[in-house]
Amino acid sequence: MIYFMVLSGMENWRLNKIMTSLKEAMNEACDEHFLPGNSCCAGCGLELALRWAMKALGDNTALVAPASCLNVVVGLWPKTAPDFPFVNMAFAAGAAAATGFDAAFKAKAHRFPQGPWKDMTAMTFAGDGGTTDIGIQGLSGAAERNTDMIYVCYDNEAYMNTGIQRSSSTPHGAKTTTTPFGKQQYKKDLPRIMEAHDIPYVATCSISEPLDLYDKFKKAKEIKGCRYIHILAPCPPGWGYSSENSIEIARLAIKTGSWILYEVENGVKTISKPSKRYMDPEKRIPLTDYISKQKRFSSVSEKTLIELQNQVDKNWKKLASELKCQEEYL
Region binding other proteins by CB under 8 A among candidate stretches 103-111, 169-177, 304-312, 320-328: 103-111
By beta-carbon proximity to other proteins, the closer residue of 37 and 78 is: 78
**Binding status of residue 35 toward other proteins by CB under 8 A:** no
**Binding status of residue 46 toward other proteins by CB under 8 A:** no
By beta-carbon proximity to other proteins, the closer residue of 141 and 240 is: 141
Give the separation between CA 115 and CA 86, rounded to whole angstroms: 19
274 alpha carbon, distance to own chain's centre: 15
Closest CA relative to residue 270, chosen from 3, 1, 12: 12
Q: HSE, CB side, 13 Å, CA atoms: give it for residue 250.
A: 30
Region binding other proteins by CB under 8 A among candidate stretches 97-105, 207-215, 232-240, 271-279: 97-105
End-to-end Cα distance, the chain = 14
Q: How far is the CB of 268 from other proteins (least distance, A)?
A: 27
Strands (E), the chain: 61-66, 86-89, 121-127, 149-155, 201-206, 226-232, 262-265, 268-271
Task: Pick from 96, 160, 232, 308 the residue near other proteins by CB under 8 A.
Answer: 96
Residues 6+ apart with CB under 8 A from 116: 60
Site residues for other proteins, window 122-151 (CB under 8 A)?
122, 137-138, 140-141, 144-145
Q: Report whether the peptide linkage leading into residue 78 is cis, meaning its omega lies within 30 degrees of zero.
A: yes
Q: How far is the CB of 91 from other proteins (least distance, A)?
A: 8
Contacting positions for other proteins (CB under 8 A) = 59-62, 64, 71-72, 74-80, 82-90, 92-93, 95-101, 103-108, 110-112, 115-116, 120, 122, 137-138, 140-141, 144-145
